[in-house]
A and B are shown apart, each in its own frame.
Chain A
Amino acid sequence: MNASAEVRNNVPDEIVIRDLGVTFQDNKGNDVQAITGVNLNIKKGEFVSLLGPSGCGKTTLLRCVADLQEPTDGDIHIEGMTPKEVRLQHKFGFVFQAPVLFDWRTVKKNVELPLEMMYQTKQQRSERADEMLEMVGLTNFANHYPNQLSGGMQQRVNIARALGIQPDILLMDEPFSALDEFTKEKLHEDLLQIWRKTNKTILFVTHNIQEAVFLSDRVCVLSPHPGRLSAIVDKDLPRPRTLEMKETPEFSQLVLKVRNSFEGGSFS
């Protein structure tokens, strides 16, 4: 366990977030601070969770990294580049909360969508899509339409599509929150397996403490009103993680530790 921590310290920072703040104007023109004063460094290949209840700004933070939201204060650098430059270079994979699939395209064509934007040839696209579908276990459904698939399967297509462009960084916005417990557990294992294979940096937003503790290396706890980073909890749970680990006392202690580092109000 210490060895892995040492290895981590020698790896360069990939995402550097400095003093980030986002202020919105509500309908009456008042300033609403979604997040303020966030400082966070994320290393290459790390799995980091952003954990908090609704209204704590975790989605806003993720969207700032993805260049979907412009920060009012502070800045973000990803290997020295701004989020916009990284986005234009197709280095992000963004997995939305809802599957956001196109009803009029087959599953395979949905996965090929970002590849079409990158002007890959038909052959390249087809091969890559097949690869991705195999990784999420949906090869047999390549020619089905989204409305023929269950929620969990649609979300897997969502993930396959995000992985298709082979991004360095995977940004996931509560991707499993709409699914039932059994499907969720299955997808947790799948996600960890994909992460082990591909070694990407993953920034994962969730409101589920157990999910955050189970999946990630570090849990960043955010608290609301105003949204801010309250704590960063480093975890020493060994990898690879299995479902049985959820029963161990170490796991429960970590969950408790995370819960207690949350400030202000109840954790819904």
Chain B
Amino acid sequence: MKKKYLSLTTKKWFQILFWAVIVIAAWEIGATVVAMTKRTPENILPHLYQVLAAAISTKAVSGGMTATQVVFTSASATLLRALGGFAIGASLGFLLALLMKLSGVVEKLIFPYLMLIQLIPVLGLAPIILAITGDINRSRLVIAAILSFYPVAANTLAGFKSVAKEKYDLMYTYAAKKRQLYTKVLIPSAVPYLFTGLKIAAPMAITASILVDTLQGDGGLGCMLSQSLKHAMNIYVFWLIVFFSAFIGIFSTQLISLIEILVSPQKRSASWIGRIAGKEKIYGRDAEKNRTQKEPGAETL
């Protein structure tokens, strides 16, 4: 019996289920406690079924749209802009890392400033960037781009630097040209690091986009968030947005992980996709057994 229990705990779905149950239970307990002591419990910690009810209700909350519709329309606006900034920042970050690898002079010039960007609380500078650019959409792109830029650049550069000396020697013995060195070795080696950077940058770009919404109301998620908070709108819109933002933040990271597995074939063997496709890892002894008789005059050991 104990063995069965222990083997169950190793399954990933069980772990997720276990913790989901605990989180939900804690939430509900908290909500019940709050409901007993507060006048307006929905503001602090509503019951989960209340939130669910609000999500599926068809009651018009604002401008003829239901709560869920409000969330989704404002979300699409915010996310689209976040995506734009993310794409720009990530591309620029990658290019800069490439440039820094190509030229030692550029690397020495830029490296301290790259460090500096990380230390400056860029999100905190959102209002001033808005003031400088004057246009809310452009400022959103700029901030999301700056936030995406650093993780991608730093991680990609680390990826370039991680290439072992033997690989350089190998290409040297093939009299490879610089272009071949980059396209065949350096860039593929940096891909895993690039994805690490992307996983960090994605939630930040989303956060930046929502934050800029709060500064100037024009219908994004952040705008709806502050409006519903001040009770200009149903409080459940607030909670729905909170849940949705949390979900989007987590989902974006998982999405990038998924893309990475699709793009990097060597990772497929180690993941669940590989298991479905039948590409398992082959260890020593089993590998020997898999050899056929085609080997030149071999003795079976």
Contacts and interface: CB of A to CB of B under 8 A. Distances in A.
In the complex, A touching B (Cβ < 8 A): yes
Interface residues of A, number: 42
Interface stretch (A71-79, A137-145, A198-206, A214-222): A137-145
A150 B185 contact: no
A139 B174 CA distance: 24
Contacts of A117: 174-176, 180
A167 B52 CA distance: 70
B166 A98 contact: yes
A127 to B, nearest CB: 17
A165 B296 CA distance: 21
Interface string A120-159: 0000000000000011010111001111111111000000
B281 interface: yes
Contact of B291 (A90, A135, A140): A140
Interface residues of B, number: 37
B292 A140 contact: yes
Contact of A96 (B166, B188, B191): B166
A96 B291 CA distance: 25
Given A68-B172, A117-B176, A149 B295 contact: no
B173 A68 contact: yes
A178 to B, nearest CB: 13
Contacts of B135: none
Nearest to B296: A193
B175 A87 contact: yes
A124 B193 CA distance: 34
Interface in A71-128: 87-88, 90, 92, 94, 96, 98, 100, 102-104, 106, 113-114, 116-118
Given A94-B173, A102-B188, A145 B265 contact: yes
Contacts of A146: 266
Contacts of B266: 103-104, 145-147
A171 B264 CA distance: 32
A96 B266 CA distance: 22
Interface string B24-50: 000000000000000000000000000
Contacts of B290: 140
B191 A104 contact: yes
B131 interface: no
Contact of B296 (A94, A96, A137): A137
A104 B264 contact: yes
A89 B180 CA distance: 17
Contacts of A139: 292, 294
Nearest to A138: B291
B166 A193 contact: no
Chain B CB within 10 Å — which of A66, A117, A147 has the most? A117
Contacts of A103: 266
Given A94-B170, A137-B298, 15 more contacts: A68-B173, A90-B175, A92-B173, A96-B166, A96-B169, A100-B170, A104-B191, A104-B264, A106-B265, A117-B180, A148-B269, A149-B282, A150-B282, A182-B301, A189-B299
Interface of A: 66-68, 87-88, 90, 92, 94, 96, 98, 100, 102-104, 106, 113-114, 116-118, 134-135, 137, 139-141, 144-153, 165, 182, 186, 189-190, 193
19 contacts: A68-B169, A68-B173, A102-B167, A106-B265, A116-B180, A116-B184, A117-B174, A144-B279, A145-B266, A145-B269, A146-B266, A148-B269, A148-B280, A149-B282, A150-B282, A150-B283, A150-B284, A152-B284, A189-B298
